[in-house]
Structure 1
Amino acid sequence: MLKLGLIGQSIARSRAPSLHIMQGELHNVDVRYDLHEPRDTTPETYAETLHQLRHEGYRGCNVTFPYKQLAVTHATEVNRAVRLVGATNTLRFNGEEVFAANTDYTGFIRGYRGRVGEQPAGRVLLLGAGGVGRAVAFALFELGASEVEIYDIDQSGARSLARSLQEAGYSAKAVTAGELPSAAASADGLVNCTPVGHYMTPGTPLDEKMIGGQRWAFDAVYTPIETEFLVAAHRQGLTIISGFDLFFYQGLDAYEIFTDTKVDPAAVMERFKQRFDIVSDLIK
């Protein structure tokens, strides 16, 4: 049996177990995928949970909010995406070694190209500078972004991410709440990497009056798939990249890291949609 898991908070409705078990079925591998929600968000309880998984013979695990940056400090080896982003969402265990990857980075790139194609990302307004926001921000420049403007309620987080991007040679800056209307109006793409829109924190991260005139929009939230933000963007004719796209491709990339197996995306997508009866105009 291949034992995998997810460490994070508010993960009870995650579909990660289903996605990884399904990939195992397609490759004749018996996969067990468990959800682990530490009792609090301290570094100590994260370390305890990680130790438990390694001690119990897990092959690896995914990591989500709020541990993606903390998890890097427990890795003995990291890939290029983790070095760029400073966060990880995928850990593979091998004895005392912990290899860290960032499939949010690669998964977003695959999701964008699948929906938008090779058209450059252009100017982007990014909402949310946390772990997934960092991964998407760096991935945007892989996709031809000319500038990324970053807003976060925690302005220090937005400034920190902008500084990291600038140090990597990219054009980026933090914006304030008062600057959001002009940033949105001049943007080619809108990106939500905040939790707003999640079933636990409903709503939209951007006033609907600011949505329209851009080319594309992405929402990292995938429960529900049709967030208020994406529905508003779809209504305005923007090309949509859903949180499901990111969830799907980061999960495929993670499974390949865990198993050294090449996955057929079309086969997994077809089975996933059928099993969960997913019908959405946003992920056809």
Structure 2
Amino acid sequence: MPTAFLPTPKRRLLTGLIGSGIQKSLSPALHEGEGDAHGLRCQYRLMDLHELAMTPEDLPTLLEAAQLAGFNGVNITHPCKQRVIEYLDALSPEAQALGAVNTVVFESGKRTGHNTDGWGFAQGFRHGLPTADLTHAVQLGAGGAGAAVAHAALNLGMQRLSLFDQDHDRAQALAQRLQGQFPDQQIDAGHHLETTMQSASGLIHATPTGMAAHPGLPLPAEWLRPDHWVAEVVYVPLETELLRAARAQGCATVHGGFMAVYQAARAFELFSGCAPDLGRMLAHFEQLIAAPQTESTHA
């Protein structure tokens, strides 16, 4: 794992998650379970804007309260990943490149923002699709998670990435920003999904479609071919309708659980200074997911 910005290993760990509608998040169990394995007294608290009757405008108050209470840091999820940046002292290279933060580390009175989503996706992709053809991928979704995933795909060596989003302007803006960061690769905002799928080698899905609250497929199953690979970001259910359809067509697939675990593992390392056991965290995640507790693509 990357070692830059890592704090000194600790014996106690107080962290949490700031976001809205996060009561079913798996993050507390994942972080506290890994903390136990390292002999840490780990507590992970949820700061749910909805439950607290707060908005992103209250981020300064929440960050200051967490620092004063002795938190080692906090995770950040929807709708605060971009807004939180203005209240930080420094950004890691990943967070700077993405313009979004999902992890804030408090150390020496400073707040440093990180983004572990892209690293989590890349690790999961390598694990589940080690021989994937990186010639041309279609990505559905250009929001916060989509930006991190797209950046990671290009870092993995994707030669061409075609972005699609219900908000075409958002896809266009992301494509333009990424093109500036990856000038030797082709990034475009697509208009004709069916036609683009015909030339693509794979599909990255980064929208909420497939979650319990948003059932269904993000595109017609017949647009998938046996030589396509499919990478999913949604992790509850672990087998989405898209993954079932893709497997029925003979596609190689990777589920969203890997990204969920690996981004949490990297955040745990940043908070604690301890190297997490990825296999142990994956096994713990599989136990938790057997009795679904969350409907999120987020932390």
Asked whether the two chains share a fold, i.e. TM above 0.5, the reply is yes
Question: Cα offset for 1:74?
Answer: 2.2
Report the counterpart of residue 38 of structure 1 in structure 2.
49
Q: CA RMSD in A?
A: 2.1
Matches within 5 A, 1:43-122: 43-117=56-130, 119-122=132-135
Question: Cα offset for 1:132?
Answer: 1.0
Tell whether 2:284 aligns with 1:268.
Answer: no
Report the counterpart of residue 175 of structure 1 in structure 2.
190
Tell whether 2:17 aligns with 1:2.
Answer: no
Deviates more, 1:189-198 or 1:51-60: 51-60
Matches within 5 A, 1:1-284: 1-39=12-50, 42-117=55-130, 119-168=132-181, 169=183, 170-176=185-191, 179-274=192-287, 277=290
Deviates more, 1:46-55 or 1:62-71: 46-55
Structure 2 vs 1, CA of residues 173 and 16 (structure 1 numbering), >3 Å: closer, same or farther? same
Indicate if the aligned counterparts of 1:211 and 1:236 stay in contact, CA closer than 8 A.
yes
The AA in structure 1 aligned to 2:146 is G
Indicate if the aligned counterparts of 1:204 and 1:229 stay in contact, CA closer than 8 A.
yes
Q: Distance in 2 between matches of 1:180 and 1:10?
A: 32
Question: Cα offset for 1:120?
Answer: 4.8
Structure 2 vs 1, CA of residues 51 and 198 (structure 1 numbering), >3 Å: closer, same or farther? farther
Question: Cα offset for 1:119?
Answer: 4.2
Structure 2 vs 1, CA of residues 275 and 138 (structure 1 numbering), >3 Å: closer, same or farther? closer
Give the 3-state SS of the residue equivalent to 1:157 in structure 2. Answer: helix
Q: Distance in 2 between matches of 1:6 and 1:174?
A: 32
The AA in structure 2 aligned to 1:212 is R
TM-score, with structure 1 as normaliser: 0.90
Q: Distance in 1 between matches of 2:79 and 2:129?
A: 29
The AA in structure 2 aligned to 1:30 is R
Q: Distance in 2 between matches of 1:89 and 1:55?
A: 20
Query: 1 or 2 for the larger relative contact order (CA 8 Å, sep ≥6)?
Result: 2
Structure 2 vs 1, CA of residues 8 and 204 (structure 1 numbering), >3 Å: closer, same or farther? farther
Indicate if the aligned counterparts of 1:22 and 1:272 stay in contact, CA closer than 8 A.
no
The AA in structure 2 aligned to 1:49 is L
The AA in structure 1 aligned to 2:32 is I
Q: Distance in 1 between matches of 2:190 and 2:208?
A: 19
Indicate if the aligned counterparts of 2:258 and 2:282 stay in contact, CA closer than 8 A.
no
Deviation sequence 1:155-177 (CA, Å, 0-9, x none):
1110110001111113111123x
Give the 3-state SS of the residue equivalent to 1:100 in structure 2. Answer: strand
The AA in structure 1 aligned to 2:73 is G
TM-score, with structure 2 as normaliser: 0.86
Structure 2 vs 1, CA of residues 149 and 66 (structure 1 numbering), >3 Å: closer, same or farther? same
Question: Cα offset for 1:76?
Answer: 1.3
Q: Distance in 2 between matches of 1:117 and 1:59?
A: 35
Question: Cα offset for 1:274?
Answer: 4.3
Deviation sequence 1:200-230 (CA, Å, 0-9, x none):
2222222222222443212211122111112
Structure 2, unaligned runs of 5 or more: 1-11, 293-299
Question: Cα offset for 1:121?
Answer: 2.6
Report the counterpart of residue 7 of structure 2 in structure 1.
none
Question: Cα offset for 1:262?
Answer: 1.0
